[in-house]
Amino acid sequence: MKLLKHISNYVRHRLIQQKRKLMNILTDTLKVNRDALKETLLKLRHIPLLALAYVVYQLILFAVSMIGANLGAGIGFLWGFVNYLVNIAIMAHFLSLLYNVIRYNRLTPQDLFNRQFTRLMPSLLQAFFFLYIIELLFSIFLSPILPSISSFLILLVWEALKTPVQESVYLGNQYGTGALRATFEFWKSNWAQWSLIILAAAVYQILIQPLVGRLTLLSIWLMPVVWLVSGVLISVWMVWRGELFDVLDSSSMRSREFRRGFD
């Protein structure tokens, strides 16, 4: 009887500990996201310029895709590599603008022409090329033998897991594959806190983007409007991501709990 009572008390104690731990994680998740969103609201004045940059990016990508579509098969294959470089350059440029917003709360039209983004390109090229190889191997060896729904869910989770890579590069100052290792460590410590970022992206992809995209069915000339609306929403999301990553990457949950005790 004493043994059963001892086991019962131990199980009850463990359950209480786990419940307390989950409550601490939930509390921290809500508070760090609240603080990140507050910082995002303070920086909304930069969103129009970020959204304008997004529209320019879409115009560049549209032009590149049109050129590629008119090339022959052999040259078209090489153009795929050019398209990849253009995408990385655009990503680097956008992240350099976000860096000014997150770090300095500053963004001017002159920043659009700043070549600061070139310092991010080597790291992004290396990190995303490695990710591309993983995706290529999956499409060749696993995707054909898996049910379509399984492949879809795996790729969905994969896209979610990749989200902090950009922040690891432009805010965490990680280089190439080091950014991938840092992303893995980031997920281990902040999976709950970052989950709201993923949830917001899912809501946008499932509910908002299809509604905005329907405008193009009315007229192709509404495409810039679609890009602008998408640019505003994505820019707000990216600033939120940056603010949240900045807090999570520079502190542990324990240290944040400690500091809150003095607030």
How far is the C-alpha of 199 from the C-alpha of 55, rounded, in Å? 24
Give the chain's domain count: 1
Is the model's pLDDT at 73 over the cut of 60? no
Domain assignment present for residue 11? The answer is: no
How far is the C-alpha of 114 from the C-alpha of 161, rounded, in Å? 30
pLDDT band at 1 (very low <50, low <70, confident <90, very high): low
For tokens 């590069």, what's the residue? 169
pLDDT band at 3 (very low <50, low <70, confident <90, very high): low
How far is the C-alpha of 239 from the C-alpha of 40, rounded, in Å? 6
Q: Could you report the per-residue pLDDT of 19-36, keeping only the tens digit for each?
A: 788 899 999 999 999 999
Q: Which two tokens stand for residue 39?
A: 């910082």
The verdict on pTM exceeding 0.75 is yes
Domain assignment present for residue 64? The answer is: yes
The range of the structural domain enclosing residue 121 comes to: 30-260
SS3 assignment for 13-40: HHHHHHHHHHHHHHHHHHHHHHHHHHHH
Domain assignment present for residue 23? The answer is: no
In angstroms, the first-to-last Cα distance of the chain is 48
Q: Could you report the per-residue pLDDT of 163-218, keeping only the tens digit for each?
A: 999 999 999 999 988 999 999 999 999 999 999 999 999 999 998 888 887 877 77
Share of the chain above pLDDT 70, in %: 92
* pLDDT averaged over every residue in the chain: 90
Domain assignment present for residue 14? The answer is: no
Region 216-234: what's the mean pLDDT?
87
How far is the C-alpha of 9 from the C-alpha of 24, rounded, in Å? 22
Which whole-number Å values give the CA distances from 197 to 81, 83, 103, 190, in the listed order?
30, 28, 20, 11
Domain assignment present for residue 16? The answer is: no
Listed residue (85, 120, 126) closest to 99, CA to CA: 120
What pLDDT is attached to residue 16? 75
How far is the C-alpha of 251 from the C-alpha of 160, rounded, in Å? 22
Domain assignment present for residue 46? The answer is: yes
How far is the C-alpha of 142 from the C-alpha of 153, rounded, in Å? 13
Residue 104 has φ and ψ, to the nearest 5°, of -120, -5
Q: Are 73 and 66 in contact (CB under 8 A)?
A: no
How far is the C-alpha of 220 from the C-alpha of 106, rounded, in Å? 34
Domain assignment present for residue 7? The answer is: no
- Helix axis angle, 121-137 relative to 73-104, nearest 10°? 130
Domain assignment present for residue 130? The answer is: yes
Q: Are 203 and 165 in contact (CB under 8 A)?
A: no
Q: Which two tokens stand for residue 197?
A: 């970022």
C-beta atoms surrounding 169 within 10 Å: 28
